[in-house]
Structure 1
Amino acid sequence: MSELRAAFVGRDRERAALHACAGRARSGRPALVLVDGPPGVGKTALVRSALEGFRVLAASGDPLESSFDYGFAQQWLHDGVSGDPIDVGARLLGVLTGSEEPVALVADDAQWADAPSVRALAFALRRLHAGNVLVVVVTRDEPPDGLRRSLSEATRLSLTGLSVAELGELAAHLCPVPLGAAALDRLRAHTGGSPLHAEALLRQTSPDVLADPMARLPAPRGHAMDVQDRLGRLDERTRALVRAAGVLGEECPLWQAERLAGVPGAILLLDAAVAAGLLVHRVGGELMVGFPDPLTRAAVYEGLRPGERARLHRDAAVICPDPVDQVRHRIGAVSRADDAFAREVAAFAREQGASGNWEVAADHLECAARLTASPRERGVLRAEAVHALLLAGRPGRAAELAREPNAHPGARAFAAGLVEEASGDRARARGLLERAWLDREPAFEGAVATALARLCLSDGLLPEGHRWAFRASGVGAGFVHMVSRFAAGRTADVLDLRLPDPAVAAPGELDLLTGRAAVRLWTGDAAGALADLRGVPGEVAETLRCLAEVRSGAWDDALSRRPGTWTAPYTVAAQAMVHAARGEVATARTLLSHGWGAVSGLARMFLDAAAAFADQVEAGDPDPEIAPGAGFAACAGMLPIAPGGRREAALSPDPFERARAEFADGSNLRRSGRRTDAAVRLRAACDAFRALGATPFLERSMRELAACGRSNDALTAQESTVAGLVVAGLTNKEIARRLTLSVKTVEYHLSNVFAKLGVSSRTALVALLVRGQPRRA
């Protein structure tokens, strides 16, 4: 693949804008373009792609030449350049406008342009009114001060790093094997999305290293050589400080780097390292030092000799007070398999998991797997890492790790089963987890039973669920224990259980609080569920929070919740129902269409209920007879709600279900001729639907209310007349002429009508009033 093609992955919009400017210049209308972005982002290559057919006058800045007068202008004009900037600018203008062929003037790296050249160019640009001229100024940030006014009307193209998807497109051209999403995420974080650095790494680095989440990504060779050159110009003490910081991480307290480097008074050395572009510093309680970007740190770290690197890691493990950092440095000092140390790292990882630090647990379990010489133990640790990754909300990496070779059949089935559960294939997940139970190890025995209990109970397989819940242990076990008791009819045992406030609860107690919150939700106590879940982490808690917020009317809060892994269908179904209830059916359908084909069991019921609800809203008749389990009641929790009817709905703490019941009763009362009683119910329904933003339901309720001969608020005579003329099809101007009013007055009256009748458009107003007229004051 050509270098040009690699540079332009993801630059379609910018290329189109630049080529449009070039076309305008060719047609005789001068065009000014400002291109900015960080080094390596592809600015120069972008500009070159649009210069075909132009006579190019190009100049490029250099920090070592920025003090030389007319260094830029000399590159444009070639002959000796001197004198007043006005004279040089006039000469430059003559060159730009005196040619019969199109001319492109390019000022690359203009942040280093010398001041006289800048003044000369500004003079020319202020007088450039005609000609086949394209002027492109390329800079890292803002143009030089003298050009800002001249470029105020320029087309500005600000380039940023490539996205993960765009890096995937680039990798597809350069890598012999596909890179997964997790590998592309790492590549973007490491390079900042710079196409220059990303392309270099993709060309220079083995796909195995790129795909390995535990491997250190290197710096591109050219960048590494530049960093080592700058490092070599520093004195030995400053070099030692930079290298120590490279071992300590992307950022560390200055005192740690000072102690590790053995250079007292390191603050006196910091200026030289910062001036060389190797370190940056930040004050936040204590002075922190770090690197401008991950590539610079990688280049410094790679430049260390293996023995020196191991020594620094061993010393850092003694210096750093954080246990996580201590273990990380001890791992960095190891050069061969060590079963005893692998067991120590695994134990540390499990402690971190027990405290809810699943991200740290997953990373250390993967490290432990690499440190052990036993293939069977490696398989167990990898399966545990898959479990931790899912709990940390990293399903993509979990799926990748589950696909790696695993010498332990039970661990392999355990990891695969968890991934299938997260992807929604519950039947396959159960089969794999049951196989894992047959070849289980103490390290994952309790987790297998917990997952099987969760699957069986949520699918209504109560006897099996009880049996697995009895064997469950570890994270999530408290939840399935509570659900199992509830399913066995022991609701009082669950609700009466004395548990601490979530703020002071231990991890096992948080599990129990999550389970009790689910039971509270299933028994109609959404407020109690939210109280139990206050501050509780984990995807089950987050999903239950979403469901409880839907049932309590906190719809905006519910929409802010992020779907988890295996609980995602429940969150998505609830959020889709909220969107549908608000009339946003297209949004609801988009949520429901994203890869839920393999979902089965209760999760499938949730998604189907949400789809059916969206269908009802879209059909324009969203509120047939209130049926048991209809509407939001079908998505109240992870088990079906006990059947109810209109009477139960009228007493429900769920404001939406209560409003639907009020609407249904009000409609029946109106049809039986009891209009006054009907209006009371319908006004209550209108108020509730308006508060929730449930527009389709509000509009239908308002039509019913209008059919009673009443509105939510009485309209004045003028408002009633304006509303009637809108219904008759007149525009605001036509109404103004007929009533001898100004258009603004008509708009004022119409805004009052909309507010009083609870509608937001003329179409909705017409639909509301076709069955009756609003009552005058």
Structure 2
Amino acid sequence: MVSPSLIGRSDVLRHLEDEFRSARSGQGRVVVVRGEAGIGRSAVLDLAAADAPGMEVVRTCGVESERALPFAGLQQLCTTLRADLTTLDSPQRAAVEVAFGVTEGQADPYLVGLAARALLTGVAKARPALILIDDAHWLDTPTSRALAFAVRRLDAFPIAVVLTTCTDADDEFAQFPSLRLTGLSDADGRALLRTASYGGVDEAVLSRIVAEARGNPRDILAAVDGVMSPDFAGGYGVVGADTGALGERIAGLTGAERLALILAAADPTGDPALQWRAADVLGLDRQVTRTLHDQGWLRQETRVLFVDPRLRPVVYCLATSSERDEVHLALATATDAVVARDRRAWHLAVATTGPDDQLAAELEHCAAHARRRCGRGGEAAFLERSALLTRDADLRSARLLAAAVAKFDIGSASAAVQLLAAAGLGRLDGQVRRCLGRQHARLAFVDKRNGPAAEQMLRAAEELRRANEPLACEGFLEALVAATYAGRLGPGTGAFARRTPTDWTRDGRTRDLLVGLTARFATGFAASHQLLRPTVRAIAGRDGHHASKRWLGIASRIAADLWDDDLWDDLTSRTVDIARETGSLMKLPYALTDRCLAELHFGNFDTAQYLLDRIDALTTSSHGPGFPCGALLLDGWRGAEEAAHARIEAARQEAMERGEGIVITTAGLSAAVLANGLGRYDAALAAARDVVADDELVLYGWGLTELIEAAARSGQPGAAESALAALAERARAVGTDWALGLEARSRALLADGTEAERLYQLAIDHLSRTRVVVHLARTQLVYGEWLRREGRRVDARVQLKAARDRLAAAGATAFTERAHREYLATGDRARRRIVDHRAQLTPQETSIAALAGQGLTNPEIGERLFLSPRTVEYHLHKVFEKFGISSRRALLRKLTPDVAGEHG
């Protein structure tokens, strides 16, 4: 998620960059950033700290509770600076010791100010310094005066000082240049909402949120947290609130004033015409609303808004049940039954306490429209409310089941469990009972991706099959996919495949995928690729077929198993996009993991890490199980030995406890990649052998390539030949450049003379036409190693340099060092160092620059990284400035590290 301070803050950040540039040149700068609470002052400092290359960054802040303590702020600053008071002149040190209470006496403000200046300039002795002081309005007055005195005398030093304050008063820092942070524009507010949300939200609700928050990022994001929660459902429903001391204030209102205020809180759109009509229904005089305006509760622009947006949920929660019923009934009466049929039904439903079959049917009918208006969350809310108003037990259970499915899709597993439990209390016919069993099985898999959960899904599918239910085929496919996660710790995908029927009479994407995957695990790769490839390509064909969207996740994994990098790229990107657009928080971590693995193989390690951070945020907020596979493989490829081994061991232990075999296999693959990068081929061979012990989707093929290199380098050609036979069978079957390139490289590792060289060159030719940059680089590495051992040092340098540069650009440290050692072994007299221009960039800028260099537009980059196009444009502007370029065409050249000489 993009920082709230970045959207709409481009001008502010560019101004700070100019000030930092002046400070680096020896011209001290002081800037005061002013703005109200929540406007993004601290976030601006976060960005400033992250975007100050080459500067020593020191950060502190004022503390409200210490404002009355003289020089408490200065003492905190000295602690942050790790200041050595013995470096001060004796009078200054004595003055500071008095100020800090070390010795008795009265502190001399002049000497304390000089001491503060000396301590600040001391930070900049080694390199330019950036001093960040947040919440300066909470600094005690003596500290503020000493700082103002000190920073006014930094003109000739390479120091930039940035302070933030919420006051506009004539404070100690009023004399310095200031930047005012104001509220975001409507366009920027909407951009912030888009970056912070998943799925759809009613446009009228979004407009009200931005207007009510007056563009304050904190208030916008606080509202979005409620809107995106499953309970709020995109505008329908209400989240809880901390009523605090407002209860007494609301209690002081008259009955009419209180009712008018609840009316404003109950309408999520803020439509003034609707509220006036509802007020008439309630018999409220227009003067009541004017009084609420005068008392500072409400304000009216194009919408009826709360002066403080945090009041809205508080007011609603403090209302009594009868008050809420009365207000919602009035809103329903005032709502147009044609233009806003779903909103009218919702207000009626909230005001209804007992069963109402007619209204329940209306809610069920409106659920589809709610989904179009505000996403899957709105649909779930309508279906749940419909079920609660249903009198017939069988129909009630069916509607509860439909609501549970919708809650499951938006990631509200706990709510889905409760709805399923309620559905089970009714008189269930056979179909509903079978569907209920299937949903219980799906929830079991969400909780633990293990063998018992996969077995439960398979039994549920068998029940559907025996009843000739249309969902049976889908159920078997879900069970088979679940078995791939249980992996070696489950009954086995082969066993599941043998229990999976393939004699389906109905055609379709689901059937084709199921038949192909069943063949893949029951018969073997060669028997399945001709079935799976056309199906996966059809799913990628954007034909709008419902099943095509539903099975994008497994289709992307199959594309990787088929070594089709273009298809893999397309499918993983679309899977993430659709999961976000539909608000399917249940599917999004899976989609992000698949995309992370693709970015890793494409050499975009920074983007992969960004996606991992998003996965961590999602799983933390949902309290669900983690998704460690992407992080495991990224650690292995990066080659940080200690961190990688720690993660591998922790993941293995947790996976054993959970029964998640795919993690065990991925941990082994990570260990094999890590050991090959470090040149520890015996360890790599042992790890790779464990990976290929079972023919797991995707991981088996990747494990073969690691095993062949490790076996060839550790003097075990028999093991390498056996793995090569399996790899060659797959490569010849699919015929992609990725597969054929890896086969040629693997054969070259076992060949001699001209045949080895021909195969290495063939491998490079194939892989040069793919997206899998890291595999091209590793091929150039082993080719360069072979050339050096053949005594062809000049030729070896060409390959080793190319390998080293590509691996360094990706961030594959261990492989880079291996390539560099080999390069030095060629005897080149000029020792080399890698000049990586990416070091000038932040991780966010690196990811954006890499994608822009590949030709993606700003909107396309934004979709990949969950950023607005304006944010992408801002980052690219900074990248161009840092690189000294003016076009995207120059990006790829800058992103590939140069080599500069270091002559001893």
Give the TM-score normalised by the residue count of structure 1.
0.55
Aligned match of 2:567: 528
Alignment of 1:289 onto 2:305: yes
Give the conservation status (yes or no) of the 8 Å contact 1:369–1:381: yes
Distance in 2 (CA, whole Å) between partners of 1:394 and 1:712 is 61
In structure 2, the CA distance between the partners of 1:663 and 1:295, relative to structure 1 (3 Å rule), is: same
Residue deviations 1:90-120 (CA, integer Å, cap 9, x gap)? xxxxxxx9xxxxxxxxxxxxxxxxxxxx9xx
In structure 2, the CA distance between the partners of 1:705 and 1:443, relative to structure 1 (3 Å rule), is: same
Distance in 2 (CA, whole Å) between partners of 1:216 and 1:508 is 34
Give the conservation status (yes or no) of the 8 Å contact 1:316–1:329: no
Residue deviations 1:700-753 (CA, integer Å, cap 9, x gap)? 11011000113898799xxxxxxxxxxxxxxxxxxxxxxxxxxxxxxxxxxxxx
Aligned match of 1:223: 246
In structure 2, the CA distance between the partners of 1:548 and 1:715, relative to structure 1 (3 Å rule), is: closer
Q: Give, in angstroms, the shift of residue 416 of structure 1.
A: 3.4
In structure 2, the CA distance between the partners of 1:355 and 1:680, relative to structure 1 (3 Å rule), is: farther
Aligned match of 1:424: 448
Distance in 2 (CA, whole Å) between partners of 1:353 and 1:469 is 35
SS where residue 305 of structure 1 aligns?
helix
Aligned match of 1:505: 544
SS where residue 528 of structure 2 aligns?
coil
Alignment of 1:253 onto 2:271: yes
- Report the residue type matching 1:520 in the other structure: A
SS where residue 537 of structure 1 aligns?
helix
Aligned counterparts, 1:402-551, within 5 A: 406-407=424-425, 410=434, 413-437=437-461, 448-456=475-483, 460-461=493-494, 463-464=497-498, 466-467=500-501, 470=504, 480=514, 483=517, 489=528, 491=530, 494-495=533-534, 499=538, 505-511=544-550, 516-535=555-574, 536-538=577-579, 539=587, 541-551=591-601
Alignment of 1:607 onto 2:666: yes
Q: Give, in angstroms, the shift of residue 698 of structure 1.
A: 0.7
Give the conservation status (yes or no) of the 8 Å contact 1:246–1:297: yes
Distance in 2 (CA, whole Å) between partners of 1:493 and 1:543 is 22
Give the conservation status (yes or no) of the 8 Å contact 1:362–1:389: yes
Residue deviations 1:431-481 (CA, integer Å, cap 9, x gap)? 333454576696976664442242246653363475289599999888657
One of 538, 553, 558 as aligned partner of 2:603: 553
Give the conservation status (yes or no) of the 8 Å contact 2:677–2:818: no
Give the conservation status (yes or no) of the 8 Å contact 2:342–2:370: no
Residue deviations 1:150-189 (CA, integer Å, cap 9, x gap)? 999xxxxxxxxxxxxxxxxxxxxxxxxxxxxxxxxxxx99
Aligned match of 2:733: none
- Report the residue type matching 2:264 in the other structure: A
In structure 2, the CA distance between the partners of 1:248 and 1:658, relative to structure 1 (3 Å rule), is: same
Distance in 2 (CA, whole Å) between partners of 1:597 and 1:438 is 28
Aligned match of 1:692: 810
One of 572, 583, 586 as aligned partner of 2:628: 572
CA RMSD of aligned residues (A): 5.7
Distance in 1 (CA, whole Å) between partners of 2:423 and 2:531 is 47
Give the conservation status (yes or no) of the 8 Å contact 2:71–2:143: no
Aligned match of 2:57: none
SS where residue 563 of structure 2 aligns?
coil
Q: Give, in angstroms, the shift of residue 227 of structure 1.
A: 2.0
Give the conservation status (yes or no) of the 8 Å contact 1:273–1:279: yes
In structure 2, the CA distance between the partners of 1:241 and 1:494, relative to structure 1 (3 Å rule), is: farther
Task: Could you tell me which runs of 5 or more consecutive residues in structure 2 were left unpaired when the two chains were aligned.
Answer: 1-60, 75-105, 107-136, 147-164, 177-217, 224-235, 486-491, 580-586, 703-725, 729-741, 747-762, 835-895
Give the conservation status (yes or no) of the 8 Å contact 1:712–1:756: no
In structure 2, the CA distance between the partners of 1:509 and 1:410, relative to structure 1 (3 Å rule), is: closer
Aligned match of 2:122: none
In structure 2, the CA distance between the partners of 1:20 and 1:426, relative to structure 1 (3 Å rule), is: same
Aligned match of 2:36: none
Distance in 2 (CA, whole Å) between partners of 1:659 and 1:142 is 52
Alignment of 1:643 onto 2:764: no
Q: Give, in angstroms, the shift of residue 418 of structure 1.
A: 1.5
SS where residue 270 of structure 2 aligns?
strand
Aligned match of 1:762: none
Give the conservation status (yes or no) of the 8 Å contact 2:377–2:410: yes
Give the conservation status (yes or no) of the 8 Å contact 1:280–1:289: yes
Distance in 2 (CA, whole Å) between partners of 1:573 and 1:32 is 46
In structure 2, the CA distance between the partners of 1:608 and 1:715, relative to structure 1 (3 Å rule), is: closer
SS where residue 393 of structure 1 aligns?
coil
Residue deviations 1:170-223 (CA, integer Å, cap 9, x gap)? xxxxxxxxxxxxxxxxxx999979xxxxxxxxxxxxxxxxxxx98864764852
Residue deviations 1:43-98 (CA, integer Å, cap 9, x gap)? xxxxxxxxxxxxxxxxxxxxxxxxxxxxxxxxxxxxxxxxxxxxxxxxxxxxxx9x
Distance in 2 (CA, whole Å) between partners of 1:269 and 1:630 is 78
Residue deviations 1:97-152 (CA, integer Å, cap 9, x gap)? 9xxxxxxxxxxxxxxxxxxxx9xx9899989xxxxxxxxxxxxx946835666999
Give the conservation status (yes or no) of the 8 Å contact 2:266–2:316: no
Aligned match of 1:703: 821
Give the TM-score normalised by the residue count of structure 2.
0.49
SS where residue 467 of structure 1 aligns?
coil
Give the conservation status (yes or no) of the 8 Å contact 1:715–1:776: no
Distance in 1 (CA, whole Å) between partners of 2:143 and 2:821 is 68
Give the conservation status (yes or no) of the 8 Å contact 2:264–2:304: no
Aligned match of 2:406: 388
Give the conservation status (yes or no) of the 8 Å contact 2:777–2:807: yes
One of 313, 326, 335 as aligned partner of 1:308: 326
Aligned match of 1:83: none
Residue deviations 1:585-611 (CA, integer Å, cap 9, x gap)? 566545984654445465234432355
Give the conservation status (yes or no) of the 8 Å contact 1:369–1:382: yes
Give the conservation status (yes or no) of the 8 Å contact 1:573–1:607: yes
In structure 2, the CA distance between the partners of 1:570 and 1:20, relative to structure 1 (3 Å rule), is: closer
- Range with bigger deviation, 329-338 or 404-413: 404-413
Aligned counterparts, 1:177-188, within 5 A: none
Give the conservation status (yes or no) of the 8 Å contact 1:485–1:491: no
Give the conservation status (yes or no) of the 8 Å contact 1:386–1:399: yes
SS where residue 289 of structure 1 aligns?
strand
Task: Could you tell me which runs of 5 or more consecutive residues in structure 1 were left unpaired when the two chains were aligned.
Answer: 1-15, 34-96, 98-117, 128-140, 153-187, 194-212, 717-753, 759-773
Q: Report which of the two has the higher share of helix.
A: 2
Aligned match of 1:660: 778
- Report the residue type matching 2:311 in the other structure: D
SS where residue 501 of structure 2 aligns?
helix
Residue deviations 1:599-650 (CA, integer Å, cap 9, x gap)? 5465234432355247627967489889997999999847756725562564
Distance in 2 (CA, whole Å) between partners of 1:124 and 1:577 is 50
Distance in 2 (CA, whole Å) between partners of 1:317 and 1:412 is 36
Q: Give, in angstroms, the shift of residue 519 of structure 1.
A: 3.5
SS where residue 305 of structure 2 aligns?
strand
- Report the residue type matching 2:449 in the other structure: D
Distance in 2 (CA, whole Å) between partners of 1:474 and 1:148 is 73
Distance in 2 (CA, whole Å) between partners of 1:613 and 1:384 is 45
One of 258, 263, 274 as aligned partner of 1:244: 263
Give the conservation status (yes or no) of the 8 Å contact 1:313–1:332: no
Higher alpha-carbon Rg: 1
Give the conservation status (yes or no) of the 8 Å contact 2:509–2:548: no
Between the two structures, name the one with larger relative contact order (CA 8 Å, sep ≥ 6): 2
Give the conservation status (yes or no) of the 8 Å contact 2:484–2:662: no
How many aligned residue pairs are there?
546
